[in-house]
Amino acid sequence: MRKYLLQFKPFLIFISTFFGAYILLTVLYKLYLNSFEANDVDGITNIVGHNVNQLMNLFNCDIRVLKSISDPYFEVWYNKKYTLKIVEGCNAVSVIILFVSFIIAFSGKIKTTLLFIFSGIVFIYILNIIRIALLTVLLFHFPEEEHVLHGVVFPLIIYGAVFLLWVIWVNKFSKYAK
């Protein structure tokens, strides 16, 4: 048994570090979410809604992002048509937690690791804002394609980007990079 533990030690360290970071960050995020009232939008989702509004206003779009009266989400109105809603799951925090957990599990030098984590979070956040803005426009024009756009295309883009960040990290900056 000891032989196998030694043989698989790097893998076991990676798995335990990844899941430890993932569980810790998820619990902290859940505690953060629990600090809001049931029908209140959390602060991060609030900022996401505001940033989507700002981005689309930058392109002179007819956009309104309004807090739902009775539910914890934002209604996005594009060209005076209710197009989509921004819920807590749209703020990309779960994707960011996954990204950060992986980078921590494959950490390198502390300064490089922290800089890559910060840069990756900013990149994922901006990509998510662009994703929601594009989804708004596309759903306005192609509402019948909601399942494909929201369920396949845009998750593929954001998770694909995270995967590419992981590949860059492992090959260029982690302690395993050659």
Residue with tokens 């960040």: 165
Tokens in use for 176? 């395993």
Question: pLDDT digit string (tens) for 80-100?
Answer: 999 999 999 999 999 999 999
Tell me the pLDDT of the chain averaged across its residues.
94
Q: How far apart are CA 97 and CA 94, in angstroms?
A: 5
Q: Which residues of 28-49 are buried (b: 16+ CB within 10 A; e: fewer)?
A: ebeeeeeeeeeeebbebbbebb
> Which amino acid is it at 153?
V
pLDDT average, residue stretch 11-39: 94
pLDDT average, residue stretch 53-64: 97
| Residue 177: per-residue pLDDT | 64
> Is 29 in contact with 100 (CB distance < 8 Å)?
no
> Is 108 in contact with 174 (CB distance < 8 Å)?
yes
Name the nearest CA neighbour of 116 among 158, 75, 74, 169: 169
pLDDT average, residue stretch 62-70: 95
Question: Quick check: 35 pLDDT over 90?
Answer: yes
Q: How far apart are CA 175 and CA 178, in angstroms?
A: 8
| Residue 12: per-residue pLDDT | 86
pTM of the model: 0.92
pLDDT average, residue stretch 62-81: 95
Question: Quick check: 154 pLDDT over 70?
Answer: yes
pLDDT average, residue stretch 9-29: 93
